[in-house]
Chain A
C-alpha cells in the first residue's frame, strides 16, 4: 500500500491542533496591522486530524530503512549504531529549552560541555584549537578554506590553488571552488594512493593547501604521508585532513603526528550521532596554533568566573552560521566520547578495521577487488570485470535491498569503474557480515544464471525500481 500525500488526506474542517482561545482583549486584525500587509484567501495547507497525522508519518517511517532496522554499509558514511541513551540526554529540557541569547551565567552547563568537547577533540587529533560551529563536513571544509585564505591574505601572499587527489569526496572540490580557489587534481598511483611525483610537480608557492582524506576513499592509508607533509610544508602550504574516515584511526594515530595542520571532524559519522535522514550533522574544525587566530567567532573560553563566548578575536574570519553550532548534535557526540573513554576509542577502530577486512576477504573471490591489500575501515569492489552480463553496480545495489540490506555507496570513488564502496563499521556482528556476504555471493551467482532477476530488482519492497530518468525529464517537485 502506498501512502497518499498529506494533502490528499485533507478534509474541510478537520484539525490536528489544539490551541487555547485568545485570553487578551482581542482586537480586529486590521486594527493592529494595515490591510495591505495581510494575506488574502486560503493558505492551501492540509486539514487533517491528529490520528491522521500520526498514522501518515508512522506509515512513512515504515517505508524507510535506517541503522535500527537494517545493516547499512554505506562507504564513507560510517553508519554505526546510534546509542539511545545519547538521544535521551540530548532531549533533557536543560539542553533543548535554552535560548541562544540567554545570559551566559544561565547556560554554564552547555558552555562547559562545549569547552570540554573541544578539549576532547584536541586531544584525540593533536590539534590546538577546535571550533564546533560548522553544521556539516562540507561546512567545516568551507570554514577551513576561508581561514586558510585569510591567513595568506594577512601574510600578503598570493596563493590561489588547492590540491585535491582524484579519489577525494566531491565536497573538497566544491568547497574550494566556493571559496574562490583554483583546483589542481593529484593523481593516484597504481596502488591507489597519492602519486608522490605528481604531487612534487604540482606543489608550488601558489598552493594554499593539499586536502587529504586519510584513510582515503579506497580505504587505504597513505604510506607516504610524512613525505607528502614534507613536500607541502617545504613550500609553506597547509596539509588539510578531511576527517570523514577518522573511524579507522581513533586512538591509533593522531592527525597532528601525520603533519596535519587543519582538519574537520564529522560528528555524524565517527562519533555516532544519527544522520537524521540527511542531517543535521556537525563538522567541527581543528587547527594547529598558526591558524587558531582565524577561527570563526565566538569561541568558548573559560576564566575565573566561568565559561563565556569570546567574540573579541581580531583576525577571526567572522561568523559562518547563526548562533554557535548544531548543539544538539554536539551533545550526542560528547556523550559517545565519554561513554567510550580512552579505553574504548581504540576498540572502535580495531573492530571497524577487522570487520572491513573480514568482509573484503569473504567477497574478494566473487567480485573484482582493484586494490588487493589489507584495507582500513572500508574497501572498494568493482562491478566491472568483463563477465557481469550487462549487470551494473546499480542493479547489484537494488538487488541487495531484496535481501534486507541497505546497499553500499555506489559509483564512488570515481577512480574505480562501477564502484561498490563498503564500510561495515564496528557495531555489526559477525553473523550480520556473514549474511551480507552470502547475499552478495548469491547475487554473483544470479548474475551468471539469471541476470534479469538482478537487473529488474528490487522485487520484494512496497515499490519497484523507480524511474529516475522520468523524474529528471518531467520535473515534478511539489504537490
Chain B
C-alpha cells in the first residue's frame, strides 16, 4: 500500500460507477492493447519508509562529507557559512510545494520574495535589472552571450581563459550548437587577462568580451581597463562575478558592465555535489525586453494595495513560443529564495564582514604557505579568497596526504590547465579557523 494514494477500493468503485466505466483498465481504452506492457517492469520492490531511510542513509555514508573533512577547495563551489534560519524558512512548505506563481493572488509570498531577490541583487551588483534566476552561473553566462548577439549581431565572442573552465565549456556547447558563433580565447598573464592580446584580437566583429572577477584563479581582473578596450570597439561587456566578493569589491554596474551574471550558490545554497545552484542574471535597462527568464513586477490590486505579479511575460516561451527570448521555463526559484534570506540576514554590514573574513584568512593562509621552502605563488596578482600555489611536490600527492588527515585540499589546476603542472588552487572561506589553517600549514611543512 502506498501512503501517497488515498483512493480505496470502495472509492474506486464509486468513481467508476459515476464515470460509467467497468474498470480502471477500461479508461485506458485509447492505448492499443499491443502497446501495453504485458509484465511488471524489472524494478526493485517497493520500500517502506524505514527501509528507504536505512538504504539511503547507507548510500549517504559512502560519501565523505565536509562536516567530517575540512575543505580548502573552491573552484566555483564554495563552503560558506549558512545561518540556521535558512533551512527553516526556505523549508516552509507553502514555499517549496508551490508551482511557478502564475496565479499572483495565491502566490504573493513567492512573488514578493522574488521581487526582493531582484532588488537585492540589483543593489549588490549596481545593475538596473535582474531576472528571477536561471539554472546556474554557467548557463546564465551562455544566455548573456546569446543576448549580446541578438543585440549587435557580432559574429565573434572573446572569452578570457581565466573564466571558469566549466562555464567556457557550457558556452561552447550552447553557442556553437545554437548560433554558430566563433569563440576566441584570450590568454592570461600572471593569472589575469593579457590586455595586449585582448586589444589585438578585439575587432568590429566582436559581439562581446567575457571576464570573470575574481577569476577562476582567484585573481582580480583589471575590470575597468577591460571595459575601456571592450567599449572602444563597440562590443558588449559581460562580467561573471562571485556575489560574496561584492561585499568588498567594486560592483559590475560601477565599471559599466552591460550584463553581469554569477553563480549564486555562495548565497546560502549548499554544496549539493554541484546542484541545485543559482544562475544570477542582471543587465542594463535597455536590454529589458530581450532578457531571458521570469521577472516579477510591482502593481496594485483594485483597492490600491501593493502586490506583485509575473510581468513582461510576452518575452517568454508560453506566449511567444519559437520567438521567445529564451526557452527557459522552470528556473531555480527556491535557490533564489535562499539567496534573499541570506542577503537579508547578513545585510549591509554582514556581507562585507563575510567578504573581509575570506580576504584576511586566505591571505593569512597564503603568507604562511609561501614561507614553507619550495612553495611559491603561481601568480602575484591581487586575489580575494582563492590563490594558486606552485608546489615542490606533485599536487596529487599533497592532496592524498591532506585527505588522509581529514583535509580536502586545493584544486589541481593541471586537470583543466595542462601548462600549470604543479599548481594547487586553495580556497579559504570565513568558515576556516586559524586552527584549520595552521594544521594545513603543519601538514604541508611536514611534506617537504
Smallest beta-carbon distance A443→chain B, Å: 15
Which of B16-24, B198-206, B227-235 binds A? B16-24
Smallest beta-carbon distance A77→chain B, Å: 5
Q: Mark A128-168, 1 if CB is under 8 A from B, else 0.
A: 00000001111101100010011000000000000000000
**Contact present for A463 and B4 (CB under 8 Å):** no
**Contact present for A326 and B322 (CB under 8 Å):** no
Q: List 26 A-B contacts (CB under 8 A).
A: A16-B344, A17-B353, A19-B430, A23-B434, A24-B437, A29-B356, A37-B220, A42-B348, A48-B344, A53-B345, A67-B93, A87-B91, A108-B63, A109-B62, A135-B136, A139-B328, A149-B177, A150-B177, A171-B318, A177-B324, A220-B30, A226-B35, A251-B37, A321-B135, A335-B56, A351-B12
In this complex, how many residues of chain A approach chain B with their Cβ under 8 Å: the count is 201
Contact of A7 among B119, B301, B307 (CB under 8 A): B119
**Contact present for B273 and A98 (CB under 8 Å):** yes
**Contact present for B327 and A342 (CB under 8 Å):** no
Task: Decide: A340 near B100, CB < 8 A? Known: A24-B437, A38-B249, A277-B337.
Answer: no
* Chain A positions within 8 Å of B71 at CB level: 99
**Contact present for A252 and B37 (CB under 8 Å):** yes
**Contact present for B327 and A138 (CB under 8 Å):** yes
A-B CB pair tally, cutoff 8 Å: 678
Task: Decide: A476 near B178, CB < 8 A? Known: A277-B107, A347-B5.
Answer: no
**Contact present for B101 and A278 (CB under 8 Å):** yes
> Which chain A residues numbered 162 to 215 have a C-beta less than 8 Å away from chain B?
169-171, 173-180, 183
Contact of A47 among B319, B332, B348, B363 (CB under 8 A): B348
**Cβ-based interface call for B299 (8 A):** yes
* Chain A positions within 8 Å of B87 at CB level: 91
Across the two chains, which residue of chain B brings its CB closest to A329?
B276
Across the two chains, which residue of chain B brings its CB closest to A426?
B5
Across the two chains, which residue of chain B brings its CB closest to A91?
B87
Across the two chains, which residue of chain B brings its CB closest to A89?
B56
**Contact present for B62 and A112 (CB under 8 Å):** yes
**Cβ-based interface call for B88 (8 A):** yes
**Contact present for B37 and A53 (CB under 8 Å):** no
* In the bound complex, CA of A465 to CA of B104 (Å): 9
**Contact present for A61 and B95 (CB under 8 Å):** yes
> Which chain A residues numbered 452 to 474 have a C-beta less than 8 Å away from chain B?
456, 458, 461-468, 470-472
Q: Mark B377-414, 1 if CB is under 8 A from A, else 0.
A: 00000101000000000000001000100001001000
**Contact present for A24 and B88 (CB under 8 Å):** no
Smallest beta-carbon distance B427→chain A, Å: 10
* In the bound complex, CA of A59 to CA of B328 (Å): 29
Task: Decide: A81 near B318, CB < 8 A? Known: A106-B64, A278-B333.
Answer: no
**Contact present for A66 and B311 (CB under 8 Å):** no
Across the two chains, which residue of chain A brings its CB closest to B78?
A99
Across the two chains, which residue of chain B brings its CB closest to A402?
B105
* Chain B positions within 8 Å of A100 at CB level: 76-77, 271, 273-274
Smallest beta-carbon distance B273→chain A, Å: 5
